[in-house]
Amino acid sequence: MATFVLIAGGWQGGWVYEKVVDMLVAHGHEAVPVTLSGLGDIPAPSANLDTHIAEVVGIVASRRDKVVIVGQSYAGMVVSGVADAVPSRIRALVYVDAYVPDSGDSVWSLTTPRFRDLFIAGAKADGRNCAPPPNLDPRCRPHPMGTFLQSIKLSGRWREVPRKTYIGAFGWEGSPFQDLHHRLGSEPDWSTFAFDCGHNVARLNPEALTEILLAQV
């Protein structure tokens, strides 16, 4: 049995992985869908990227064996920070249409002007939380702006994780991740996959995502 720690992207909680969790459990594995601070029923406007990283480090450290850690979109920042903090506890890293930062990067610095404008518009109410964009799932919650703005500090130890996988979603316009997918595809220590679906891979193509996750163990 393997343990999978599943972290959703901006505005979303662990519920986004419902179908993936069911399939992983059906194969005899443990699946831990994570809802980060501020993205559940209790707001956390003061949360920043360090907050979210520390929460997931705690989850990983509580497991007896190494884990497969999965990050969608914004959560690529989180899983990078977790793997940098505890690389010996990570069996595999899986980025799902996600940011892959270098030290000093932030979501704000890595994303496109379109998404920066979206963040600014979403934070107009109080400047501390970014409201979900229109037409997202009603379970989405305002996202703490500090997590988008804070730069990550990495030693580079995350690169010690033996298996690193990047899944790109090529079925939506305006993706900030396509060039990253192409670049990682030429690096020998990465495996890359391309899906013809929208950004929310866990909900739009859970079967294919689960197949890749199962191949990590």
Complete DSSP assignment for 59-126 = HHHTSSS-EEEEEETTHHHHHHHHHHH-GGGEEEEEEES---PPTT--HHHHS-HHHHHHHHHHTTTT
Residue 185: per-residue pLDDT: 96
Residues 6+ apart with CB under 8 A from 179: none
- Active-site residue (options: 37, 46, 62, 73): 73
pLDDT band at 64 (very low <50, low <70, confident <90, very high): very high
pLDDT band at 8 (very low <50, low <70, confident <90, very high): very high
pLDDT band at 119 (very low <50, low <70, confident <90, very high): very high
Does the annotation count 103 as an active-site position?
A: no
Residue 191: per-residue pLDDT: 98
Reading the block at residue 33, the tokens are 């869908």
Residue 167: phi, psi to the nearest 5? -110, 120
Q: What average pLDDT does range 160-174 have in this prediction?
A: 97
Share of the chain above pLDDT 90, in %: 99
Q: Please, what is the average pLDDT of the chain?
A: 97
* Region for 38 from its dihedrals, namely left if φ exceeds 0, alpha if ψ lies in -120 to 50, beta otherwise: left
Residue 86: per-residue pLDDT: 98
Sorted by where each starts, the structural domains of the chain and their CATH numbers stand as 3-214 (3.40.50.1820)
Q: What average pLDDT does range 34-51 have in this prediction?
A: 96
Whether the per-residue pLDDT at 192 is higher than 90: the answer is: yes
Whether the per-residue pLDDT at 23 is higher than 90: the answer is: yes
Q: What average pLDDT does range 156-178 have in this prediction?
A: 97
Residue 19: phi, psi to the nearest 5? -70, -40
Share of the chain above pLDDT 70, in %: 100
In Å, what is the CA distance from 139 to each residue of 12, 40, 50, 162? 7, 8, 24, 35
pLDDT band at 141 (very low <50, low <70, confident <90, very high): very high
Q: What average pLDDT does range 57-76 have in this prediction?
A: 97
pLDDT band at 135 (very low <50, low <70, confident <90, very high): confident
Q: What average pLDDT does range 35-59 have in this prediction?
A: 97
Q: What average pLDDT does range 16-38 have in this prediction?
A: 98
